[in-house]
């Protein structure tokens, strides 16, 4: 019973953290700011926010889990593009076959990169940047450097059909992926080992943790999630985009940081990443309600990313702690005097 209680306490910790407060703040802003400007917020706007979450949420999860392991998978963007293209090319008559093909390509790409990073102890940024370029090049070659249409429109219609007021099958699938990964991290040794490796890989290896296995597994999972995200997005749009820009990568990194994932690794939860992704989706949907220019979204999202990254800096925390200690010391000295 005590063991179960401890696990539930760890799962619930995210709901009482600054991540949860930030999420609640974003929900309030989502409803209040448009109302203050004379716009009505409807259930369709919430549905739009969840569709944004459905499009980019798995990229946030993929980046988040690699960041917890003190890695960073830049190739998620390339896999997002290639996964959509493979799903459209292979899944013409069978969408499920297209998804399986996208998952297979994602797992293979993640396996290769993970083995290179883990076995050769190479910085993941350089390896996955190369992986991104390779995957993007393959996508351009397979798709002849153009958007590839998908003629099975019924798949996208079914994926994006609204039910339960603000949900679609697209967003539900993404939520189920978060749930599955979250349960695996909370109820198995996976989560503990992942954070241990992210916190100190050398100490983890000494204590018997399979560091290589953890790192390779993280990259395989990242490839699977990114490939699935690309496949679902391509089916929804009835087309595989040749160049989605950097929006998926920016969304994923910002969501992970808002969700409390540490830049240095070893810190973060799937619940936090989900809350960060939904919060950022609400922000983008709010700009849609306000009919804001696209540059406003870019400026605010970029500023938010810098703000969150700065707030998470260890040196800043140390400075704040020293200032707080100095303030307490002066208060005690004045009280004694």
How far apart are the C-alpha atoms of 256 and 268, rounded to whole Å? 8
CB atoms within 10 A of CB 314: 10
Are 33 and 27 in contact by the 8 Å Cβ rule? The answer is: no
- Identify the weakest region by mean pLDDT among 16-25, 117-126, 137-146: 16-25
Q: Would you state the pLDDT for residue 14?
A: 44
Residue 300: which pLDDT band, with cuts at 50, 70 and 90?
confident
pLDDT class of 337 with cuts at 50, 70, 90: low
Residue 260 has pLDDT above 60, yes or no: yes
Residue 149's DSSP bridge partners are: 239
199: Cβ contacts below 8 Å, ≥ 6 apart: 70, 265, 266, 267
What is the reported pLDDT for 12?
A: 47
The CB density around residue 271, as the number of other CB atoms within 10 Å, is: 23
Give the whole-angstrom CA distance, residue 65 versus residue 182.
Answer: 10
Q: Contact, 227 vs 105, CB < 8 A?
A: yes
Instruction: Read off the pLDDT of each residue in 32-44 and give the average, rounded to a whole number.
Output: 88
Q: Are 22 and 254 in contact (CB under 8 A)?
A: no
**pLDDT for the residue numbered 331:** 59
Percent of the chain with pLDDT over 90: 50
Q: What is the pTM of this model?
A: 0.87
Cα of first residue to Cα of last residue in the chain, in angstroms, is 51
pLDDT digits (tens, 9 = 90+) for 222-243: 999 999 999 999 999 999 988 8
What is the reported pLDDT for 320? Answer: 54
What does the H/E/C string look like for 192-248? HHHHHHHHCHHHHHHCCCCHHHHHHHHHHHHHHHHHHHHHHHHHHHCEECCCCCCHH
Q: Report domain extents, the chain.
A: 25-336
Q: Residue 318 — pLDDT band, cuts 50, 70, 90?
A: low
pLDDT for residue 2: 47
Burial 54-92 (b: 16+ CB within 10 A, else e): bbbbbbbbbbbbbbbbbbbbbbbbbbbbbbbbbbbbbbe
Q: What pLDDT shows up at residue 324? A: 62
What is the per-residue pLDDT across 303-313, written as a single tens digit (0 to 9) for each?
Answer: 777 777 676 66
Instruction: Return mean pLDDT, the chain.
Output: 86
Q: Which residues are CB-neighbours of 29 under 8 A, at least 6 positions away?
A: 282, 283, 286
CATH number of 25-336: 1.10.3470
pLDDT surpasses 80 at 61: yes
Confidence tier at 57 by pLDDT (50, 70, 90): very high
Q: Which residue has the higher pLDDT, 210 or 324?
A: 210
């Amino acid at each position: 019973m005590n063991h179960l209680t401890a696990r539930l306490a760890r799962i619930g910790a995210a709901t009482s953290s600054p991540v949860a407060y930030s999420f609640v703040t974003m929900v309030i802003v989502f409803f209040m700011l448009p109302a203050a400007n004379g716009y009505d917020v409807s259930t369709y706007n919430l549905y739009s926010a969840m569709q944004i979450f459905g499009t980019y949420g798995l990229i946030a999860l993929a980046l988040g889990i690699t960041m917890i392991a003190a890695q960073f998978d830049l190739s998620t963007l390339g896999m997002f593009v290639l996964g959509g293209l493979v799903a459209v090319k292979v899944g013409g008559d069978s969408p499920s076959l297209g998804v399986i093909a996208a998952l297979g390509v994602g797992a293979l790409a993640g396996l290769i990169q993970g083995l290179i990073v883990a076995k050769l102890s190479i910085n993941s940024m350089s390896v996955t940047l190369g992986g991104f370029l390779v995957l993007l090049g393959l996508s351009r070659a397979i798709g002849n450097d153009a958007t590839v249409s998908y003629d099975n429109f019924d798949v996208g219609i079914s994926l994006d059909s609204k039910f339960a007021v603000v949900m679609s099958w697209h967003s539900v699938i993404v939520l189920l992926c978060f749930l599955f990964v979250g349960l695996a991290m909370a109820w198995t040794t996976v989560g503990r080992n992942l954070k241990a490796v992210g916190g100190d890989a050398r100490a983890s290896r000494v204590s018997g943790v399979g560091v290589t296995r953890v790192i390779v597994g993280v990259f395989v999972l990242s490839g699977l999630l990114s490939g699935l995200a690309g496949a679902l997005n391509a089916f929804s749009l009835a087309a595989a985009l040749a160049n989605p820009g950097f929006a998926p990568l920016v969304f994923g990194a910002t969501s992970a940081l808002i969700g409390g994932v540490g830049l240095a690794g070893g810190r973060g939860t799937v619940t936090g990443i989900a809350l960060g992704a939904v919060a950022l989706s609400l922000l983008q949907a709010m700009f849609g309600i306000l009919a804001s220019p696209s540059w406003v979204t870019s400026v605010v999202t970029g500023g938010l990313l810098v703000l969150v990254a700065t707030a998470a800096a260890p040196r800043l925390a140390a400075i704040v702690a020293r200032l707080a200690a100095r303030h307490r010391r002066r208060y005690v000295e004045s009280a004694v005097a």
